Structure 1
Amino acid sequence: MHTTALVLFSGGQDSTTCLAHALARYERVETVAFDYRQRHSVELQARLAVLDALRAQFPHWAGKLGEDHLLDLGVLGQVSETSLTRDMAFQMEQSGLPNTFVPGRNLLFLTLAAALAYRRGLEVIVTGVCETDYSGYPDCRDDTMKAMQLALSLGMDRRLLIETPLMWIDKAETWTLAHQLGGQPLVDLIVEHSHTCYLGDREHRHAWGWGCGQCPACELRARGHERYLSQWPAGRPAPVPASA
Protein backbone atom coordinates (compact mmCIF):
# COMPACT_ATOMS: atom_id res chain seq x y z
CA MET A 1 0.00 0.00 0.00
CA HIS A 2 1.35 3.38 -1.01
CA THR A 3 1.73 5.96 1.75
CA THR A 4 3.71 8.83 0.18
CA ALA A 5 3.15 11.06 -2.82
CA LEU A 6 4.64 13.94 -4.81
CA VAL A 7 2.07 16.28 -6.37
CA LEU A 8 2.86 18.35 -9.46
CA PHE A 9 1.46 21.55 -8.00
CA SER A 10 1.22 24.66 -10.16
CA GLY A 11 -1.24 26.44 -7.89
CA GLY A 12 -4.13 26.18 -10.34
CA GLN A 13 -7.58 24.74 -9.79
CA ASP A 14 -6.70 21.29 -11.09
CA SER A 15 -3.46 20.85 -9.19
CA THR A 16 -5.02 22.18 -5.98
CA THR A 17 -7.80 19.60 -6.29
CA CYS A 18 -5.18 16.92 -6.94
CA LEU A 19 -3.26 18.03 -3.86
CA ALA A 20 -6.38 17.74 -1.73
CA HIS A 21 -6.99 14.30 -3.23
CA ALA A 22 -3.46 13.22 -2.27
CA LEU A 23 -3.74 14.65 1.24
CA ALA A 24 -6.93 12.66 1.75
CA ARG A 25 -5.20 9.42 0.67
CA TYR A 26 -1.55 9.49 1.73
CA GLU A 27 0.36 9.93 4.96
CA ARG A 28 3.08 12.21 3.58
CA VAL A 29 2.66 14.52 0.60
CA GLU A 30 5.24 16.82 -0.97
CA THR A 31 4.75 19.28 -3.82
CA VAL A 32 6.79 20.39 -6.81
CA ALA A 33 6.44 23.22 -9.31
CA PHE A 34 8.44 24.31 -12.34
CA ASP A 35 9.55 27.75 -13.43
CA TYR A 36 9.73 27.50 -17.22
CA ARG A 37 9.43 31.26 -17.80
CA GLN A 38 5.69 30.97 -18.30
CA ARG A 39 3.77 34.17 -19.04
CA HIS A 40 1.45 33.38 -16.14
CA SER A 41 4.33 33.12 -13.66
CA VAL A 42 2.05 34.69 -11.05
CA GLU A 43 0.95 31.10 -10.45
CA LEU A 44 4.28 30.52 -8.73
CA GLN A 45 3.27 33.04 -6.06
CA ALA A 46 -0.38 31.95 -5.97
CA ARG A 47 0.64 28.38 -5.17
CA LEU A 48 2.33 29.53 -1.96
CA ALA A 49 -0.88 31.24 -0.89
CA VAL A 50 -2.77 28.02 -1.57
CA LEU A 51 -0.34 26.02 0.56
CA ASP A 52 -0.59 28.51 3.43
CA ALA A 53 -4.39 28.49 3.25
CA LEU A 54 -4.54 24.68 3.19
CA ARG A 55 -2.37 24.47 6.30
CA ALA A 56 -4.45 27.09 8.12
CA GLN A 57 -7.92 25.90 7.13
CA PHE A 58 -7.39 22.13 7.06
CA PRO A 59 -5.34 21.24 10.15
CA HIS A 60 -5.96 17.52 9.64
CA TRP A 61 -4.05 17.82 6.35
CA ALA A 62 -1.38 20.21 7.59
CA GLY A 63 0.59 17.48 9.34
CA LYS A 64 0.75 15.45 6.13
CA LEU A 65 1.91 18.33 3.96
CA GLY A 66 5.66 18.11 3.62
CA GLU A 67 8.36 19.97 1.75
CA ASP A 68 7.63 22.11 -1.29
CA HIS A 69 10.06 22.18 -4.23
CA LEU A 70 10.49 24.70 -7.06
CA LEU A 71 12.66 23.58 -9.98
CA ASP A 72 14.17 25.88 -12.60
CA LEU A 73 13.19 24.70 -16.07
CA GLY A 74 14.05 27.83 -18.02
CA VAL A 75 15.42 25.77 -20.89
CA LEU A 76 11.85 24.78 -21.74
CA GLY A 77 10.96 28.42 -22.28
CA GLN A 78 14.01 28.82 -24.51
CA VAL A 79 12.94 26.08 -26.91
CA SER A 80 9.19 26.77 -26.86
CA GLU A 81 7.55 29.19 -29.30
CA THR A 82 4.11 29.07 -27.68
CA SER A 83 1.57 31.52 -26.32
CA LEU A 84 2.42 30.38 -22.79
CA THR A 85 6.09 31.31 -23.16
CA ARG A 86 5.88 34.19 -25.66
CA ASP A 87 3.79 37.36 -25.96
CA MET A 88 1.49 36.18 -28.73
CA ALA A 89 -2.25 35.75 -29.26
CA PHE A 90 -3.97 32.47 -28.47
CA GLN A 91 -4.88 30.60 -31.65
CA MET A 92 -5.11 27.20 -33.29
CA GLU A 93 -2.13 25.97 -35.27
CA GLN A 94 -2.13 24.08 -38.58
CA SER A 95 -1.33 20.94 -36.60
CA GLY A 96 -4.78 21.16 -35.02
CA LEU A 97 -3.32 21.92 -31.59
CA PRO A 98 -3.70 25.29 -29.85
CA ASN A 99 -0.54 27.37 -29.55
CA THR A 100 -0.85 26.96 -25.76
CA PHE A 101 0.67 23.50 -26.24
CA VAL A 102 4.24 23.49 -24.91
CA PRO A 103 5.93 20.49 -26.56
CA GLY A 104 7.50 18.13 -24.07
CA ARG A 105 6.33 20.05 -21.02
CA ASN A 106 4.57 17.24 -19.17
CA LEU A 107 7.22 14.75 -20.24
CA LEU A 108 9.93 16.89 -18.68
CA PHE A 109 7.81 17.63 -15.63
CA LEU A 110 7.26 13.94 -14.97
CA THR A 111 10.89 13.02 -15.58
CA LEU A 112 12.13 15.60 -13.10
CA ALA A 113 9.36 14.74 -10.65
CA ALA A 114 10.39 11.08 -10.83
CA ALA A 115 14.01 11.98 -10.10
CA LEU A 116 12.89 14.07 -7.13
CA ALA A 117 10.54 11.33 -5.91
CA TYR A 118 13.43 8.85 -6.13
CA ARG A 119 15.63 11.07 -3.97
CA ARG A 120 12.87 11.85 -1.47
CA GLY A 121 11.57 8.29 -1.18
CA LEU A 122 8.12 9.10 -2.56
CA GLU A 123 6.10 6.35 -4.20
CA VAL A 124 3.32 8.09 -6.14
CA ILE A 125 3.46 11.02 -8.57
CA VAL A 126 0.14 12.86 -8.80
CA THR A 127 -0.62 15.09 -11.79
CA GLY A 128 -3.76 16.89 -12.96
CA VAL A 129 -3.69 15.92 -16.63
CA CYS A 130 -7.06 15.18 -18.20
CA GLU A 131 -8.47 13.76 -21.45
CA THR A 132 -12.00 15.05 -20.90
CA ASP A 133 -11.70 18.86 -20.67
CA TYR A 134 -8.45 19.47 -22.49
CA SER A 135 -7.25 21.03 -25.73
CA GLY A 136 -5.99 17.90 -27.41
CA TYR A 137 -2.57 18.04 -25.76
CA PRO A 138 -0.90 14.71 -26.58
CA ASP A 139 1.09 14.77 -23.32
CA CYS A 140 -2.14 14.79 -21.29
CA ARG A 141 -3.46 11.51 -22.65
CA ASP A 142 -3.89 8.40 -20.53
CA ASP A 143 -1.71 6.41 -22.94
CA THR A 144 1.09 8.95 -22.48
CA MET A 145 0.85 8.68 -18.69
CA LYS A 146 0.95 4.88 -18.80
CA ALA A 147 3.96 4.95 -21.12
CA MET A 148 5.75 7.44 -18.87
CA GLN A 149 5.01 5.36 -15.79
CA LEU A 150 6.56 2.31 -17.43
CA ALA A 151 9.59 4.19 -18.78
CA LEU A 152 10.32 5.98 -15.50
CA SER A 153 9.89 2.84 -13.41
CA LEU A 154 12.29 0.98 -15.68
CA GLY A 155 14.74 3.86 -15.88
CA MET A 156 14.77 4.42 -12.13
CA ASP A 157 14.70 0.69 -11.39
CA ARG A 158 11.98 1.47 -8.86
CA ARG A 159 8.23 1.07 -9.14
CA LEU A 160 6.65 4.52 -9.52
CA LEU A 161 2.91 5.06 -9.81
CA ILE A 162 1.62 8.03 -11.82
CA GLU A 163 -1.82 8.92 -10.50
CA THR A 164 -4.22 11.08 -12.55
CA PRO A 165 -7.35 11.81 -10.48
CA LEU A 166 -8.85 14.11 -13.13
CA MET A 167 -8.18 12.01 -16.23
CA TRP A 168 -11.78 11.06 -16.98
CA ILE A 169 -13.76 13.94 -15.45
CA ASP A 170 -14.66 17.36 -16.83
CA LYS A 171 -14.17 20.73 -15.19
CA ALA A 172 -17.61 20.73 -13.55
CA GLU A 173 -16.80 17.36 -12.00
CA THR A 174 -13.44 18.73 -10.85
CA TRP A 175 -15.31 21.40 -8.87
CA THR A 176 -17.55 18.63 -7.50
CA LEU A 177 -14.52 16.55 -6.51
CA ALA A 178 -13.09 19.51 -4.61
CA HIS A 179 -16.38 19.89 -2.77
CA GLN A 180 -16.40 16.19 -1.90
CA LEU A 181 -12.85 16.39 -0.57
CA GLY A 182 -13.06 19.58 1.47
CA GLY A 183 -16.58 20.95 1.30
CA GLN A 184 -17.37 24.59 0.63
CA PRO A 185 -14.20 25.77 2.43
CA LEU A 186 -12.01 24.02 -0.14
CA VAL A 187 -14.09 25.34 -3.04
CA ASP A 188 -13.79 28.86 -1.63
CA LEU A 189 -10.05 28.41 -1.15
CA ILE A 190 -9.66 27.39 -4.80
CA VAL A 191 -11.72 30.35 -5.95
CA GLU A 192 -9.80 32.86 -3.86
CA HIS A 193 -6.21 31.64 -3.95
CA SER A 194 -5.57 29.39 -6.94
CA HIS A 195 -4.56 30.72 -10.35
CA THR A 196 -5.32 29.32 -13.79
CA CYS A 197 -5.49 32.35 -16.14
CA TYR A 198 -2.92 32.12 -18.96
CA LEU A 199 -2.42 35.90 -18.92
CA GLY A 200 -1.62 35.99 -15.21
CA ASP A 201 -4.51 38.36 -14.45
CA ARG A 202 -5.00 38.86 -10.70
CA GLU A 203 -7.01 42.08 -11.08
CA HIS A 204 -10.39 40.75 -12.16
CA ARG A 205 -12.37 38.69 -9.64
CA HIS A 206 -15.18 36.41 -10.82
CA ALA A 207 -17.44 33.93 -9.04
CA TRP A 208 -15.07 31.17 -10.20
CA GLY A 209 -11.85 32.97 -9.30
CA TRP A 210 -9.29 35.47 -10.57
CA GLY A 211 -8.48 35.89 -14.25
CA CYS A 212 -8.95 37.78 -17.48
CA GLY A 213 -12.15 35.86 -18.24
CA GLN A 214 -11.24 35.56 -21.93
CA CYS A 215 -8.28 33.21 -22.33
CA PRO A 216 -8.94 29.48 -22.94
CA ALA A 217 -8.13 28.57 -19.33
CA CYS A 218 -10.54 31.15 -17.90
CA GLU A 219 -13.32 30.19 -20.29
CA LEU A 220 -12.97 26.52 -19.42
CA ARG A 221 -12.92 27.22 -15.69
CA ALA A 222 -15.94 29.55 -15.89
CA ARG A 223 -18.04 27.09 -17.91
CA GLY A 224 -17.18 24.29 -15.53
CA HIS A 225 -18.11 26.37 -12.49
CA GLU A 226 -21.44 27.30 -14.04
CA ARG A 227 -22.26 23.65 -14.79
CA TYR A 228 -21.11 22.65 -11.32
CA LEU A 229 -23.57 25.05 -9.68
CA SER A 230 -26.41 24.00 -12.01
CA GLN A 231 -26.11 20.27 -11.38
CA TRP A 232 -27.34 20.27 -7.79
CA PRO A 233 -30.78 18.59 -7.77
CA ALA A 234 -33.93 20.34 -6.67
CA GLY A 235 -34.44 20.17 -2.93
CA ARG A 236 -30.76 19.74 -2.21
CA PRO A 237 -28.88 22.79 -0.94
CA ALA A 238 -26.53 24.07 -3.63
CA PRO A 239 -23.00 25.09 -2.69
CA VAL A 240 -22.75 28.75 -1.83
CA PRO A 241 -20.73 30.57 -4.51
CA ALA A 242 -17.94 32.78 -3.26
CA SER A 243 -18.90 36.43 -3.69
CA ALA A 244 -17.69 37.95 -6.94
Structure 2
Amino acid sequence: MGLLAYGAEGYGDELLAGAWVTVQLAVISYALAAVLGTLMAILTLKPRGVRWTIGRVYASVATGVPSLLVIFLLYYGGTEILHALLVPFGVDERPAISPLWAAVAALAFVYTPYLADLLRGAIQNVPKGQLEAAEALSVPRRQIWLGVLLPQALRIAYPGFVNIWVVLLKDTALVSLAGLTDLIAAAKVASGSTREPFLFYGVVVVFFVLFAAATIRLANRHARRLDRGVRPSEA
Protein backbone atom coordinates (compact mmCIF):
# COMPACT_ATOMS: atom_id res chain seq x y z
CA MET A 1 0.00 0.00 0.00
CA GLY A 2 1.78 3.10 -1.21
CA LEU A 3 2.23 5.93 1.27
CA LEU A 4 1.57 8.68 -1.26
CA ALA A 5 -1.02 6.79 -3.28
CA TYR A 6 -4.32 8.57 -3.67
CA GLY A 7 -7.76 7.02 -3.49
CA ALA A 8 -9.20 4.22 -1.43
CA GLU A 9 -5.93 2.31 -1.12
CA GLY A 10 -3.66 5.10 0.02
CA TYR A 11 -3.39 7.71 2.74
CA GLY A 12 -1.39 10.38 0.95
CA ASP A 13 -4.39 12.65 0.51
CA GLU A 14 -5.38 12.29 4.18
CA LEU A 15 -1.85 13.09 5.33
CA LEU A 16 -1.65 16.15 3.07
CA ALA A 17 -5.02 17.37 4.30
CA GLY A 18 -3.93 16.83 7.90
CA ALA A 19 -0.66 18.68 7.26
CA TRP A 20 -2.59 21.62 5.82
CA VAL A 21 -4.81 21.72 8.93
CA THR A 22 -1.70 21.69 11.14
CA VAL A 23 -0.14 24.58 9.20
CA GLN A 24 -3.38 26.59 9.36
CA LEU A 25 -3.70 25.96 13.07
CA ALA A 26 -0.12 27.02 13.82
CA VAL A 27 -0.16 30.16 11.66
CA ILE A 28 -3.57 31.46 12.78
CA SER A 29 -2.93 30.70 16.45
CA TYR A 30 0.47 32.39 16.42
CA ALA A 31 -0.80 35.44 14.53
CA LEU A 32 -3.67 35.88 16.98
CA ALA A 33 -1.38 35.40 19.99
CA ALA A 34 1.08 37.94 18.54
CA VAL A 35 -1.63 40.59 18.10
CA LEU A 36 -3.10 39.98 21.55
CA GLY A 37 0.35 39.77 23.10
CA THR A 38 1.32 43.14 21.61
CA LEU A 39 -1.83 44.75 23.03
CA MET A 40 -1.26 43.10 26.40
CA ALA A 41 2.37 44.26 26.50
CA ILE A 42 1.36 47.86 25.81
CA LEU A 43 -1.54 47.87 28.28
CA THR A 44 0.54 46.34 31.09
CA LEU A 45 3.76 48.24 30.46
CA LYS A 46 3.58 50.06 33.78
CA PRO A 47 3.83 47.59 36.72
CA ARG A 48 0.88 48.99 38.63
CA GLY A 49 -2.82 49.60 38.36
CA VAL A 50 -5.84 47.50 37.43
CA ARG A 51 -4.60 46.57 33.96
CA TRP A 52 -1.33 45.24 35.37
CA THR A 53 -3.17 43.20 38.00
CA ILE A 54 -5.60 41.71 35.48
CA GLY A 55 -2.71 40.92 33.15
CA ARG A 56 -0.75 39.18 35.90
CA VAL A 57 -3.75 37.07 36.91
CA TYR A 58 -4.38 36.08 33.30
CA ALA A 59 -0.70 35.26 32.73
CA SER A 60 -0.60 33.13 35.88
CA VAL A 61 -3.62 31.12 34.75
CA ALA A 62 -2.53 30.74 31.12
CA THR A 63 1.04 29.71 31.94
CA GLY A 64 0.11 27.54 34.91
CA VAL A 65 -2.57 25.38 33.27
CA PRO A 66 -1.51 22.60 30.84
CA SER A 67 -2.19 23.47 27.21
CA LEU A 68 -4.09 20.22 26.71
CA LEU A 69 -6.50 21.10 29.51
CA VAL A 70 -7.20 24.50 27.94
CA ILE A 71 -7.85 22.79 24.60
CA PHE A 72 -10.31 20.38 26.23
CA LEU A 73 -12.08 23.19 28.09
CA LEU A 74 -12.57 25.31 24.98
CA TYR A 75 -13.40 22.35 22.72
CA TYR A 76 -15.95 20.70 24.98
CA GLY A 77 -17.12 23.78 26.87
CA GLY A 78 -16.59 26.56 24.36
CA THR A 79 -20.24 26.69 23.37
CA GLU A 80 -21.35 27.15 26.99
CA ILE A 81 -18.65 29.75 27.60
CA LEU A 82 -19.83 31.79 24.62
CA HIS A 83 -23.43 31.40 25.72
CA ALA A 84 -22.58 32.73 29.19
CA LEU A 85 -20.78 35.72 27.65
CA LEU A 86 -23.66 36.52 25.29
CA VAL A 87 -26.52 36.21 27.79
CA PRO A 88 -25.84 39.61 29.47
CA PHE A 89 -26.26 41.22 26.02
CA GLY A 90 -29.66 39.58 25.50
CA VAL A 91 -28.42 36.91 23.10
CA ASP A 92 -29.76 33.52 24.15
CA GLU A 93 -27.96 31.34 21.64
CA ARG A 94 -25.40 28.56 21.82
CA PRO A 95 -23.15 29.03 18.79
CA ALA A 96 -21.32 25.93 17.66
CA ILE A 97 -17.53 26.06 17.73
CA SER A 98 -15.53 24.03 15.24
CA PRO A 99 -12.58 21.98 16.50
CA LEU A 100 -10.19 24.18 14.50
CA TRP A 101 -11.33 27.45 16.07
CA ALA A 102 -11.49 25.91 19.52
CA ALA A 103 -7.86 24.84 19.09
CA VAL A 104 -6.89 28.28 17.74
CA ALA A 105 -8.50 29.99 20.74
CA ALA A 106 -6.82 27.59 23.16
CA LEU A 107 -3.31 28.01 21.75
CA ALA A 108 -3.70 31.78 21.46
CA PHE A 109 -4.92 31.90 25.07
CA VAL A 110 -1.87 29.98 26.26
CA TYR A 111 0.82 31.78 24.24
CA THR A 112 -0.43 35.38 24.41
CA PRO A 113 1.16 36.07 27.84
CA TYR A 114 4.49 34.57 26.76
CA LEU A 115 4.67 36.90 23.77
CA ALA A 116 3.44 39.81 25.89
CA ASP A 117 6.18 39.31 28.50
CA LEU A 118 8.79 39.02 25.77
CA LEU A 119 7.68 42.18 23.98
CA ARG A 120 7.24 44.13 27.22
CA GLY A 121 10.84 43.40 28.15
CA ALA A 122 11.98 44.43 24.66
CA ILE A 123 10.08 47.73 24.88
CA GLN A 124 11.71 48.45 28.22
CA ASN A 125 15.13 47.83 26.64
CA VAL A 126 14.65 50.45 23.93
CA PRO A 127 16.93 53.40 24.88
CA LYS A 128 14.85 55.93 26.81
CA GLY A 129 16.67 58.79 25.11
CA GLN A 130 14.82 58.06 21.88
CA LEU A 131 11.44 58.34 23.59
CA GLU A 132 12.50 61.56 25.29
CA ALA A 133 13.76 63.01 22.00
CA ALA A 134 10.49 62.15 20.23
CA GLU A 135 8.48 63.74 23.03
CA ALA A 136 10.69 66.83 22.96
CA LEU A 137 9.94 67.18 19.25
CA SER A 138 6.19 66.92 20.01
CA VAL A 139 5.80 63.75 17.96
CA PRO A 140 2.26 62.37 18.41
CA ARG A 141 2.05 59.47 20.84
CA ARG A 142 0.71 57.13 18.19
CA GLN A 143 3.63 57.85 15.87
CA ILE A 144 6.07 57.34 18.74
CA TRP A 145 4.70 53.85 19.28
CA LEU A 146 4.40 52.88 15.62
CA GLY A 147 7.54 54.58 14.33
CA VAL A 148 9.99 54.50 17.24
CA LEU A 149 9.24 52.04 20.04
CA LEU A 150 7.53 49.03 18.45
CA PRO A 151 9.88 48.61 15.44
CA GLN A 152 12.94 48.55 17.71
CA ALA A 153 11.23 46.39 20.34
CA LEU A 154 10.17 43.85 17.72
CA ARG A 155 13.75 43.65 16.44
CA ILE A 156 14.99 43.00 19.98
CA ALA A 157 12.27 40.42 20.67
CA TYR A 158 12.51 38.72 17.27
CA PRO A 159 14.68 35.72 18.31
CA GLY A 160 12.35 35.01 21.23
CA PHE A 161 9.32 35.24 18.97
CA VAL A 162 10.88 32.62 16.69
CA ASN A 163 11.53 30.29 19.65
CA ILE A 164 7.92 30.59 20.81
CA TRP A 165 6.74 29.84 17.27
CA VAL A 166 8.66 26.55 17.31
CA VAL A 167 7.19 25.61 20.70
CA LEU A 168 3.66 26.46 19.55
CA LEU A 169 4.18 24.40 16.40
CA LYS A 170 4.97 21.36 18.53
CA ASP A 171 1.93 22.00 20.74
CA THR A 172 -0.37 21.71 17.74
CA ALA A 173 0.08 17.95 18.13
CA LEU A 174 -2.14 18.09 21.22
CA VAL A 175 -5.26 19.08 19.29
CA SER A 176 -5.59 15.62 17.76
CA LEU A 177 -6.74 14.46 21.19
CA ALA A 178 -9.67 16.89 21.01
CA GLY A 179 -11.06 15.61 17.74
CA LEU A 180 -9.35 17.83 15.17
CA THR A 181 -8.26 15.91 12.08
CA ASP A 182 -4.73 17.23 11.85
CA LEU A 183 -1.61 15.48 10.62
CA ILE A 184 -1.20 13.34 13.72
CA ALA A 185 -4.85 12.29 13.68
CA ALA A 186 -4.50 11.29 10.02
CA ALA A 187 -1.33 9.34 10.79
CA LYS A 188 -3.09 7.57 13.65
CA VAL A 189 -5.91 6.43 11.37
CA ALA A 190 -3.48 5.33 8.66
CA SER A 191 -1.21 3.43 11.04
CA GLY A 192 -4.19 1.71 12.64
CA SER A 193 -5.51 0.55 9.29
CA THR A 194 -2.19 -0.56 7.81
CA ARG A 195 -0.45 -1.69 11.00
CA GLU A 196 2.55 0.38 9.97
CA PRO A 197 2.82 2.96 12.77
CA PHE A 198 6.55 3.53 12.31
CA LEU A 199 6.07 4.53 8.69
CA PHE A 200 3.26 7.02 9.20
CA TYR A 201 4.48 8.52 12.47
CA GLY A 202 7.90 8.77 10.86
CA VAL A 203 6.32 10.92 8.15
CA VAL A 204 4.90 13.15 10.89
CA VAL A 205 8.33 13.49 12.49
CA VAL A 206 9.90 14.44 9.16
CA PHE A 207 7.15 17.02 8.54
CA PHE A 208 7.63 18.77 11.89
CA VAL A 209 11.44 18.71 11.62
CA LEU A 210 11.48 20.07 8.07
CA PHE A 211 8.77 22.67 8.71
CA ALA A 212 10.48 23.96 11.86
CA ALA A 213 13.89 23.96 10.17
CA ALA A 214 12.55 25.86 7.16
CA THR A 215 10.86 28.52 9.27
CA ILE A 216 13.95 28.94 11.46
CA ARG A 217 16.12 29.35 8.37
CA LEU A 218 13.78 32.00 6.97
CA ALA A 219 13.65 33.68 10.37
CA ASN A 220 17.45 33.79 10.62
CA ARG A 221 17.68 35.30 7.17
CA HIS A 222 15.12 37.93 8.12
CA ALA A 223 16.95 38.60 11.41
CA ARG A 224 20.17 39.33 9.51
CA ARG A 225 18.24 41.76 7.35
CA LEU A 226 16.82 43.47 10.43
CA ASP A 227 20.30 43.83 11.94
CA ARG A 228 21.71 45.65 8.91
CA GLY A 229 22.94 49.06 9.88
CA VAL A 230 22.58 48.38 13.61
CA ARG A 231 25.80 48.89 15.49
CA PRO A 232 26.41 46.70 18.54
CA SER A 233 26.32 48.60 21.79
CA GLU A 234 29.68 49.32 23.34
CA ALA A 235 30.53 47.84 26.70
Answer 1 or 2: higher relative contact order, Cα 8 Å, separation at least 6: 2
Normalising by structure 1, report the TM-score: 0.28
* Structure with the largest fraction of helix: 2
Normalising by structure 2, report the TM-score: 0.29
- Which one has the largest radius of gyration? 2
